[in-house]
Chains A and B, each alone.
Chain A
Amino acid sequence: MTNLITVDHLCRYYGKVCAVNDVSFTLAKGEVLGFLGPNGAGKTTTMQMLSGNLAPSSGQITINGFDLLDQPNQAKRSLGYLPDTPPLYKELSVQEFLHYCAELQGIGKNAITQAINHAQERCGLTAVSHRLIANLSKGFQQRVGIAMAILHNPDVIILDEPTVGLDPIQIREIRALIRELGQDHGIILSTHILTEVQESCTHVQIIHQGQLILSESIAGLNQTMNTGSLQVTTRLPADASLLLTIPGISSIETLANNQLKIYYHVTDDPTRHIAETIIANGWELQELTPVKKSMEDIFIALTQDND
């Protein structure tokens, strides 16, 4: 399989500040790459460089076999880019705006209407197609942005925080759309929400202070974080020392009187044992919830590994 994007030792300095430091990766067709990092990690800078909006200080970007610097127009033709702020002309209607975008992308006159209709259907914009973008809600504006990025059916789609400002239902729809698009395109998606990556991506990269600290498939990511945690609430106080004897549990933290946080190894899931023990001792189980990992946990896990 040929690579849609090859990024080679990419660096970017703003003055003396290094925003992106020696980042290299590849993206193949059918991959959805989640670009994960806290604010200011260099996600947007990398995206801007990939889309040709920003020149790298050093390094090389190849899109679909074309060097972004030497043959920018051929390279950009295979690229759909949605920046963190969707670039919308608010005084235009959705239809007019997409028409303009289609012309800019060099779509032939005969194909424009079909391309617009297709993009509008995919992003659920058909009903609002004649309304002014300025009057649309933020969620719909975001969708217009996505429609703009997929309009010319590019091989590579770059989405910079596409679900920011959307309501939960819209987020689900957008994620489904991304998964669907991911089947026959290569997608790069930046976000700072971990669940988003877990739900819609096939690969994940974590960038921290301009450096890639993890580049893995989703399965690999789950393995990297081999500890999980459970939150347990009982009506009567539970005996933590008794719970600790259950195989697989590494440590227990008392959160409140009857509330415990139990850490365990993923390889040896003790959930059933815990429930049985609590019931057998008559502590009256009220809550047993797996705690989702936050970005912070992963960072801590990763940086600890590196030390």
Chain B
Amino acid sequence: MSMILTIAKREFKSLFLSPLAWTVLAVLQGLLAYLFLTQVETFTLIQPKLATIDGAPGLADIVVTPLYGNAAIILLLVTPLLTMRLICEERRNKTLSLLLSAPISTADIILGKYLGSLGLLLLVVVLVTLMPLSLLVGGELDWGKLAANLLALVLLVSAFTSTGLFMSTVAGHPTVAAMGTFGILLLLWILDWSASMNDQRSELFEYLSILRHFQNLQSGQLSSADISYFLLFTATFILLSIRCLANDRLQK
């Protein structure tokens, strides 16, 4: 366990030694702040009308939910870039043998790498969450909604990171890993569209779609089906990564 944390800590710190992590944090924060402010402005414009309607959507519905939805789409684009180098680069630079010849198991390496890069994405989530919290200065928030959105986004980035890690373990070149991750994630994201375009809906596609589960959670319906979807998703890719890295030793 301590080995996992050692590797995770190193991975997390190393991200900040290159400009990558700083750029990602700055760009994401800039983009999301813009989107956030747009939503806030929309809310102030329609607020008088909303006041007259009974049971109208509140601040959380108009500002928080779209903000987390946007954050999810931007993270879909950014996660592959953050995770592409995890194992791939180590293998290319031949530094992987440092980890492989140390007295640690393959699972420790993968979990350490996973938690390290997940750390950065969780930092993004925290920074995003600061935005709606700033609304507390002049208004009130639906805490339940906010918590549901937060949970949804945390589960989502866990799943994204595990996919990225797996692709990085499989691929021979970081850009291939990034492209592969992006492909898998986008496919799973839009799977639902094709399902809803036709009249006959495919239940399988609907179940596989990340978007559907994410939106369910965002709406505040905490169903075990949605949560276990994300947990299974994450666990599957982590297990595949461990298997794949262990296979490295058997290279033909």
Contacts and interface: CB of A to CB of B under 8 A. Distances in A.
Whether both chains belong to one complex is answered with: yes
B46 interface: no
A104 B99 CA distance: 8
Contacts of A101: 98, 102
Contact of B3 (A14, A48, A74, A106): A106
- B-side interface mostly: helix
Given A15-B252, A55-B249, A76 B102 contact: yes
Interface string A50-69: 01111100000000000000
B101 interface: yes
B6 A100 contact: yes
A53 B252 contact: no
A262 to B, nearest CB: 46
Contacts of A83: 94, 97
A13 to B, nearest CB: 8
Nearest to A16: B252
Contacts of B99: 104
A120 B249 CA distance: 31
Nearest to B17: A91
B95 A53 contact: no
B134 interface: no
B187 interface: no
Contact of B10 (A55, A100, A105): A100
Contacts of B95: 87-89
Contacts of A92: 14, 17
Contact of A73 (B103, B250, B251): B103
Contacts of A104: 3, 6-7, 98-99, 102, 104
B100 interface: yes
A85 interface: yes
A28 B252 CA distance: 32
A85 B96 CA distance: 11
A199 interface: no
A138 B250 CA distance: 31
A91 B18 contact: yes
B105 interface: yes
B101 A73 contact: no
A76 B252 CA distance: 23
A81 interface: yes
Interface string B10-26: 10001001100000000
B10, B97, B252 pick with most chain A CB within 10 angstroms: B97
B17 A54 contact: no
B10 to A, nearest CB: 5
A14 B102 contact: no
Given A91-B14, A100-B10, A106-B3, A52 B94 contact: no
Nearest to A13: B252
Given A89-B95, A104-B3, A104-B6, A74 B249 contact: no
A29 interface: no
Nearest to A99: B10
A148 interface: yes
A174 interface: no
A92 B95 CA distance: 13
A59 B6 CA distance: 33
B19 to A, nearest CB: 11
Interface string A86-118: 011101100000001101111000000000000
A53 B249 contact: yes
B94 A74 contact: no
A185 to B, nearest CB: 16
A77 interface: yes
B14 A106 contact: no
A88, A89, A91, A101 pick with most chain B CB within 10 angstroms: A89
B101 A54 contact: no
A148 B105 CA distance: 19
B96, B102, B249, B251 pick with most chain A CB within 10 angstroms: B102
A61 to B, nearest CB: 13
A200 B123 CA distance: 52
A89 B103 CA distance: 19
B101 A52 contact: yes
Given A73-B105, A87-B98, 8 more contacts: A48-B97, A51-B100, A73-B103, A76-B102, A87-B97, A89-B95, A101-B102, A103-B6
23 contacts: A14-B252, A48-B97, A53-B97, A53-B100, A54-B251, A55-B249, A83-B97, A87-B95, A87-B96, A87-B97, A89-B14, A89-B95, A91-B14, A92-B14, A100-B10, A101-B98, A101-B102, A103-B6, A104-B3, A104-B99, A104-B102, A104-B104, A105-B103
Cβ-closest 7 pairs across A and B: A87-B98, A87-B95, A104-B102, A73-B103, A76-B103, A51-B101, A85-B94
Interface of B: 3, 6-7, 10, 14, 17-18, 93-105, 249-252
